[in-house]
Amino acid sequence: MHDLFAILSDGEFHSGEEIGRRLGITRAAVWKQIQRLREESGQEVESQRGKGYRLPNAVEMLDPDYLGKELAGVLPLHVLQTIDSTNEEAKRLLRKTGKPCLVVAEQQTSGRGRRGRHWHSPYAANLYFSLVWPVVAGMRQLEGLSLAVGLSVQGTLTRLGLTDSGVKWPNDVLVQDRKISGILLEVVGDPTDRSHVVIGVGINVNMVAEQLAIKQSWTSLALELGRTLSRNTLLVELICDLSDALQVQLADGFPAIREAWQAASLWQGRKVVLQAGENRIEGTVVGVTDTAELALDDGTGKITCYAGGELTLRLRDDS
């Protein structure tokens, strides 16, 4: 599928004959591969008698050479086509090598979100990547790490011109109430001893298809900015900012960025409902603590702090 997609990625018409010649297959086999591409990638492929096939728009593929050059010295890089989940692949690589790395893929077939949700990962549309990072300072390094990652992503997207974005506790990045990025952290090993954290980040970059049945309301950079973006240059920006943020987190911990996080928090001072398992807790967001817990005022001035995990946060209708 990748070779066919690479031929079509310029957005120009390519005849069945030309594609067949370049791939070394018959025209009938080209037709079958086009059908498969449509099904597996979710990409629309136009076909016109006498002209051939084309994508509605040119699509820039992930470029291993460019990425390898720009990110040389940051982390060993794995650029993949289709994978179940970059977090899963990162864990497999960690088991094999024991070393930090960065895994990025064109498509995930089982992209995972928090609380067992699915993360939509259509081919060549968005960014899906996982970073394996060593945990050398125990729980102190992990406290607030997911908030630090969210703030780094939000900062990079803002510098690109995205306005109205912010963070939602613990680690979503939203544009108003529409999700543009999600983060999934998984600790591998014992954090009090030797461990690593797998930092999985999904960013909706060029996804525009309204037909994608994502229940939660979502948006993408392309929808917000009105233009498609280079995923290659965006990934380099994100990784450079993220590796700086991870160094700060290691050296100074979450307190160093707590105020910046609160300034970017969309729901600071808003009335919310926190769903903690069966419990529904109402309150007003006061902020986050130095250990990245969410502080809620129950309306009487009594402030209670909640840790991450299985909590969800929704705005109350009347706020």
Q: How far is the CB of 281 from ligand BTN (least distance, A)?
A: 21
Q: How far is the CB of 206 from ligand BTN (least distance, A)?
A: 15
Question: Among residues 122, 150, 202, 283, which is the contact residue for ligand BTN, using CB under 6 A?
Answer: 202
Question: Among residues 180, 184, 274, 313, which is the contact residue for ligand BTN, using CB under 6 A?
Answer: 184
Nearer Cβ to ligand BTN (4/102): 102
Q: Which of 112, 179, 231, 258 is catalytic?
A: 179
- For this structure, is 314 an active site residue? yes
Nearer Cβ to ligand BTN (38/115): 115
How many residues of this chain bind ligand BTN (CB under 6 A)?
Answer: 20
Site for ligand BTN in 220-239 (CB under 6 A): none
Nearer Cβ to ligand BTN (150/287): 150
Cis amide leading into 170 (omega within 30) = yes
Nearer Cβ to ligand BTN (87/165): 87
Rounded distance, CA 116 to CA 286, Å? 28
Residue 253 touches ligand BTN, criterion: CB under 6 A? no
Contact indicator for 273, 160 with CB cutoff of 8 Å? no
Contact indicator for 234, 142 with CB cutoff of 8 Å? no
Residue range at the interface with ligand BTN (CB under 6 A); choices 85-93, 144-152, 262-270, 281-289: 85-93
DSSP one-letter string for 28-61: HHHHHHHHHHHHHH----EEETTTEEE-SS--PP
User: Which two structure tokens, joined as six digits, stand for 150?
Assistant: 């969210």
Rounded distance, CA 165 to CA 162, Å? 7
- For this structure, is 194 an active site residue? no
Total length of the chain: 319
The phi-psi region of residue 71 (left if phi > 0; otherwise alpha if psi is between -120 and 50; otherwise beta) is alpha
| Cβ neighbours of residue 286 closer than 8 Å, sequence gap 6 or more | 295, 296, 297, 303
Rounded distance, CA 147 to CA 145, Å? 5
Q: Which helix (H) or strand (E) holds 258?
A: helix 258-264
Question: Among residues 4, 102, 106, 111, which is the contact residue for ligand BTN, using CB under 6 A?
Answer: 111
Dihedral, CA of residue 99, residue 124, residue 152 and residue 270, to nearest 10: -130
- For this structure, is 316 an active site residue? no
Site for ligand BTN in 121-160 (CB under 6 A): 128-130
Contact indicator for 273, 318 with CB cutoff of 8 Å? no
Nearer Cβ to ligand BTN (86/289): 86
| Residue 110 one-letter amino acid | S
Q: Which of 112, 114, 168, 258 is catalytic?
A: 114
Question: Among residues 122, 155, 166, 182, which is the contact residue for ligand BTN, using CB under 6 A?
Answer: 182
Nearer Cβ to ligand BTN (40/297): 40
Question: Among residues 14, 78, 91, 112, which is the contact residue for ligand BTN, using CB under 6 A?
Answer: 112
Q: How far is the CB of 87 from ligand BTN (least distance, A)?
A: 4
Catalytic residue numbers read 114, 179, 314
Binding residues for ligand BTN (CB under 6 A): 85-87, 108, 111-114, 117, 119, 128-130, 172, 182-184, 200-202
